[in-house]
Amino acid sequence: MSVKINENYLLLKSSYIFAEINQRVNKFQEENPETEIIRMGIGDVTRPLPKAVIKAFQKAVDEMGHSETFMGYGPEQGYSFLINKIIENDFKSRGIDLSEDEVFISDGAKCDTGNIQEIFGLDNVIAVTDPVYPVYVETNVMAGRTGPMGDEGKYEKLVYLPCTAENDFVPALPSEDVDIIYLCFPNNPTGTTLTKEQLTTWVNYARENKSIILFDAAYESYITEDDIPHSIYEIDGAKEVAIEFRSFSKNAGFTGTRCAYTVVPKEVMAYDLEDNAQAVNPLWNRRQTTKFNGVSYPIQKAAAAVYSEEGQKEIKESIDYYMQNAAIIRESLVEIGLEIYGGVNSPYIWVKTPEGIDSWAFFDLLLTEANVVGTPGVGFGPSGEGYFRITAFNTLENTKKAMERISKLSF
Ligand code: MLT
Q: Is the pLDDT of residue 374 over 80?
A: yes
Report the amino acid identity of residue 18: F
Distance from Cα 309 to the centre of ligand 1, integer Å: 28
Q: Are 122 and 144 in contact (CB under 8 A)?
A: yes
Q: Is the CB of 43 under 6 A from ligand 1?
A: yes
Q: Is the pLDDT of residue 375 over 90?
A: yes
Specify the residue with its C-alpha closest to ligand 1, atom 1: 43
CATH entry, 7-48+310-407, from 3.40.190.10, 3.90.1150.10, 3.50.50.60, 3.90.850.10: 3.90.1150.10
pLDDT at 15: 81
Report the amino acid identity of residue 89: N
pLDDT at 380: 96
Those residues whose C-beta lies under 8 Å from the C-beta of residue 4, and which sit 6 or more positions away, are none
Query: How many angstroms separate the CA atoms of 403 and 355, rounded?
Result: 20
- The CATH class of 68-307 is alpha beta
Query: How confident is the model over 126-153, as pLDDT tens digits?
Result: 999 999 999 999 999 999 999 999 989 9
**Which atom number of ligand 1 is nearest to the Cα of residue 44?**
5
User: Where in the chain is CATH 3.40.640.10?
Assistant: 68-307
Q: Is the CB of 111 under 6 A from ligand 1?
A: no
Question: In testing the pocket of ligand 1, which one of 42, 46, 389 has its CB within 8 Å of the most ligand atoms?
Answer: 42
Query: How confident is the model over 198-239, as pLDDT tens digits?
Result: 999 999 999 999 999 999 999 999 999 999 999 999 999 999
- Report CA 399 to chain centroid distance, whole Å: 22
User: Where in the chain is CATH 3.90.1150.10?
Assistant: 7-48+310-407
Question: In testing the pocket of ligand 1, which one of 18, 132, 394 has its CB within 8 Å of the most ligand atoms?
Answer: 18
Q: Is the CB of 110 under 6 A from ligand 1?
A: yes
pLDDT at 13: 84
Q: Is the pLDDT of residue 247 over 90?
A: yes
Confidence of residue 411 (pLDDT cuts 50, 70, 90): confident
Report the amino acid identity of residue 246: R
HSE-CB of 59 using CA atoms within 13 angstroms: 12
